[in-house]
Structure 1
Amino acid sequence: MLRIEKLTKRFGENTAVDTATLHIDKPGMIGIIGRSGAGKSTLLRMINRLADASDGQILFEGRDVTKLTGKARRGWQSDCAMIFQQFNLVPRMDVVSNVLHGTLNRRSTLVTLFNLFPLEDIHRAIDILDRLGIAEHAPKRAEALSGGQQQRVAIARALMQDPKIILADEPIASLDPMNAQTVMEALHRIHKEDGRTVICNLHTLDTARRYCDRVVGMRDGRIVFDGLPEQLTTGVAREIYGADASFSEAATSTEIAALAAPARDVTRDAEAMI
């Protein structure tokens, strides 16, 4: 379905992604982990064609995505939706209009300028918001919503594109544990119910193990691990992150259970992370 062959991205003398090869033969929920600067975001941006590859290929159903230009490139970006850490919504615009912007690649300039969306699109947008549990917020400005709610609006906007692949670049990095769980459950449900491939950059190991059926580890631009969640042991994680024996997964945990810990334990854990 999606084949990434020796994909490389250079910025001057620096190599952000180094001959990455990844084959996805069936719909999956795939988590990509690695420390900051490992190349995770650059890899997703190349897949979506927000950034051009220096070398290598991205093949989807036999088509070379790296060679697409103009309308064909925009069409691919509709098929391959992107969700960002900072939501990328229009803050002063109402929620349903933000979701409807997911159709702009296939609508005219007039629709874009005056928000003249067909009634069927409006109904579909509200149905998607209802599916994500936030339909009651449809008339509100996006800036009035919490971070977790805004991220679900961003997911709804992606679903309006009816994509074959959803790319999520650290979608829970700025969220608290409760909202992080809600967002990850939404992405996992979309994968399971719709049969869509979701590729998600993550910064916590427990999240990758809990929601993903395949985990890819990146270090210094290279893919150094590709396996099942249960194969992601602490020892493997140390290799991915380039850490020594002092590496602790607890410092990256987003488990909701941590919220129920006694106050003294939460304080102790917070101090340990400093």
Structure 2
Amino acid sequence: MLEVRNVSRVFGQRTAVDNISFRVDGAQFIGIIGRSGAGKSTFLRMMNRLTTATSGQILVDGKDILALNGAAARAWQSQCAMIFQQFNLVPRMDVASNVLHGKLNSRSTLTTIFNMWPRADILQALDILDRLGIAEQAPKRAEALSGGQQQRVAIARALMQDPKIILADEPIASLDPMNAQIVMDTLKRINTEDGRMVIANLHTLDTARRYCDRVIGLRDGRIVFDGVPADLTTDAAREIYGADESFNEDATSTSLPADKVAHLHVLPMAAQ
């Protein structure tokens, strides 16, 4: 259960998020829409503790995650995975290692510096990549992949954390319609098959209508719409965006040979 209570974020004289409150019961797919500067990204960054809230509470299963510090805050970030518009991968690192970095908070600095991972972690990473249909890309550098493939690698890295909640900040904004659909289908499958809550900032109304269980509209940092996709009418869109807008419709496994992961160093059993 997620409960947001009177959360605000002020930057100098500007209020980016203005006293918002809502509650989510169960593993829903929540879409947050609004114009650029409406506060969408700031809210997700507060949830993931990348940005500090000015006031308010965000309760997850009764615990205020905004009050956490130190190790407790880092533990929360492991449970609340973040997916970014620009993927945030290490371009010259291979795909499998990028995915394994989802385990950074639970592994020692020394093992990650030398790219040394327990065999169980490597097999988990390959299983996740296989599930997302890109296992054959595991030995390639991330920079060699298409944008849609890179975003699926970023989703795989998030799944390595085994999070309760996945936050997706404009996950398809830089993708072509075909890859945008693949990425959104992937997030929806994770939501329904794994029972993980997904909260995604989205650009288009059609995407929100197609994939979301619930849509929250922000305008100038305030919630001006909160309802099911069927209620996202033209009048509601005008309220969210402040004027008539033109919305475009989104366009709408292979096992990896063992020699392809030779560059990933398996730790001795004693070190696992």
TM-score by length of 1: 0.91
Q: State how far apart, in whole Å, the 1-side matches of 2:59 and 2:52 are.
A: 14
Question: Which SS does the other structure have where 1:93 is aligned?
Answer: coil
Deviation at 1:235, TM superposition (A): 1.1
Q: State how far apart, in whole Å, the 2-side matches of 1:220 and 1:86 are.
A: 24
**Aligned match of 2:138:** 138
Letter of the aligned partner of 1:226 in structure 2? D
Question: Which SS does the other structure have where 1:201 is aligned?
Answer: strand
Q: State how far apart, in whole Å, the 2-side matches of 1:112 and 1:76 are.
A: 21
Question: Which SS does the other structure have where 2:139 is aligned?
Answer: coil
1:68-217 equivalences in 2 (<5 Å) = 68-217=68-217
1:23-102 equivalences in 2 (<5 Å) = 23-102=23-102
1:128-171 deviation per Cα after TM superposition (whole angstroms, max 9, x unaligned): 00000000000000000000000000000000000000000000
Deviation at 1:248, TM superposition (A): 3.2
TM-score by length of 2: 0.91
Q: State how far apart, in whole Å, the 2-side matches of 1:255 and 1:172 are.
A: 11
Deviation at 1:255, TM superposition (A): 3.1
Deviation at 1:203, TM superposition (A): 0.4
Q: State how far apart, in whole Å, the 2-side matches of 1:78 and 1:61 are.
A: 16
Letter of the aligned partner of 2:246 in structure 1? S
Residues 206 and 255 of structure 1 are in contact (CA less than 8 Å); yes or no, is this contact kept in structure 2? Answer: no
Residues 8 and 17 of structure 2 are in contact (CA less than 8 Å); yes or no, is this contact kept in structure 1? Answer: yes
| Aligned residues: CA RMSD | 0.7
**Aligned match of 2:249:** 253
Q: Greater share of helix residues, 1 or 2?
A: 1
Mean alpha-carbon deviation: is it higher for 195-204 or for 109-118? 109-118
Moved over 3 A (4+): none
Letter of the aligned partner of 1:218 in structure 2? L
**Aligned match of 1:268:** none
Q: State how far apart, in whole Å, the 2-side matches of 1:112 and 1:93 are.
A: 12
1:184-228 deviation per Cα after TM superposition (whole angstroms, max 9, x unaligned): 000000000000000000000000000111000000000111100
Percent identity of paired positions between Structure 1 and Structure 2: 71
Q: State how far apart, in whole Å, the 2-side matches of 1:195 and 1:42 are.
A: 25
Letter of the aligned partner of 2:29 in structure 1? M
Q: State how far apart, in whole Å, the 2-side matches of 1:248 and 1:49 are.
A: 34
Q: Where does the alignment leave 5 or more consecutive residues of structure 2 unmatched?
A: 253-272
